Amino acid sequence: MQRIDGQSLAKKVQAEVAQEVAQLKLEKNIVPGLAVILVGDDAASQAYVKMKAKACEGVGFYSITHSMPESISQDEIIATIEMMNANPRIDGILVQLPLPKHIDTTKILEVIDPKKDVDGFHAYNVGRLVTGLDCFVACTPLGVMKIFEAYNIELKGKDVCVVGASNIVGKPMASLLLNADATVTITHIHTKDLKAHTSRADIVVVGVGVAGLIKEDMIKEGAVVIDIGINRIADGSLVGDVDFENVSPKCSYITPVPGGVGPMTIAMLLSNTLKSAKARI
């Protein structure tokens, strides 16, 4: 069993981004800019936004966070996004999810200029991903693909089971895997027999937010397991969707939680923002 070190890989990606940013600034006087919209006072969202701001600073980006009260109107959020769409210093616009219930998330995401949609959630980018065209890809699935590449994990012809069908993780993950010539099964909350699908897969990618969902008997010997889930349990510790202790001995490769996919998500956000900034040239 090889434990995948997402932390080290993310640091390597960030170092490469920082090097390119320095070069871009020197040669073209361009500093990549990322703007984040944070609505409300959800502790987890605030923590993620702080991590993103710190990562931006670390690679030399210009970054700004628009913190808004939970009571803010949809029109006010849209006006802020439109202002950032028009700002030439901003290359990436990120709306921290989830948004309050009175806000139409789909409407908000569709206001973002697709060329600045570094989260890869706009329908324009989703459509291009499905058809295999160049686009911005959702950061977590993109981070998983980077892990496969870094660890030389072959995808072509492999049976892959994606557990979870969200727009943010499951669906883009499945599209990326299909584009890489894998045979993909997508399972979700209404799937009748989850074990029947996971137990025959060469690779299992899970991201549903249910602690310990994937048990030892649900994984075949030698499988690759990518755990995207992150859950805080009663003792305060963070765990994934996989019963790591019992599943890991059966795996050829497995990501831990924390320290697996999580750091790669932020690394890919930086990579996407750099890609957008380079399009200015």
Residues 203 and 106 in one domain: no
Tell which of 90, 119, 148 closes a domain: 119
Residue whose entry in the numeric block shows the structure tokens 């009663």: 234
Which SS3 state, helix, strand or coil, does residue 47 take?
helix
How many domains does the chain fold into? 2
Spacing of C-alpha 222 from chain mean position: 26
Active site residue 11: no
Last residue of a domain, one of 119, 153, 168: 119
* 91 and 165 belong to one structural domain: no
Decide if 52 is catalytic.
yes
What pLDDT, on a 0 to 100 scale, did the predictor assign at position 125?
Answer: 98
- On whether residue 192 sits in a domain, the answer given is yes
What confidence score (pLDDT) does residue 44 get? 84
| pTM given for the model | 0.96
> Is 2 a known active-site residue?
no
Residue 240 lies in a domain: yes
The catalytic position among 14, 96, 116, 158 is 96
Claim to verify: residue 162 and residue 257 sit in the same structural domain? yes
22 located within any domain: no
Residues of the chain with pLDDT under 70: none
Task: Produce one character per residue of 197-233: b if its CB has 16 or more CB atoms within 10 Å, e if not.
Answer: bbeebbbbbbbbeebbbbeeebbeeebbbbbbbbbee
Catalytic position from the list 52, 146, 158, 171: 52
Q: Which domain holds residue 184?
A: 139-261
* Active-site pick, 91, 119, 227, 243: 119
Q: What is the pLDDT of residue 43?
A: 85
